[in-house]
Amino acid sequence: MGQSTTTKPEENQQKSANFKLNLKQKNWLVSLQVATAGIELGTGFCMVIKALRAGLFTQPF
């Protein structure tokens, strides 16, 4: 039985070291993150506005 020269963690580290994003892929990833953040902030803002409007027009007296 021969022993391999690399262990599991070393193989995983070697695989991740070989995978690199090129500039176009990095730009797409940044654009996707910015768009997602904008959508999330916009959704949160709309929810706050709707909650405030619902509270203003349905005051129990």
* Structure tokens, 43: 């959704």
Is 39 or 3 the better-scoring residue by pLDDT?
A: 39
Average pLDDT for 36-46: 97
User: Which of the two residues, 16 and 39, has the higher pLDDT score?
Assistant: 39
Task: Give me the residue label for tokens 């768009």.
Answer: 35
Tell me what the pLDDT averaged over the chain comes to. Answer: 82
State the pLDDT at residue 18. Answer: 75
pLDDT at 55: 81
Average pLDDT, stretch 49-56? 85
- Alpha-carbon distance of 36 to 21, in angstroms, equals 20
Q: Quote the distance between the C-alpha of residue 32 and its chain's center.
A: 8
Burial of 57 (0-12, 13-18, 19+ CB in 10 A): exposed
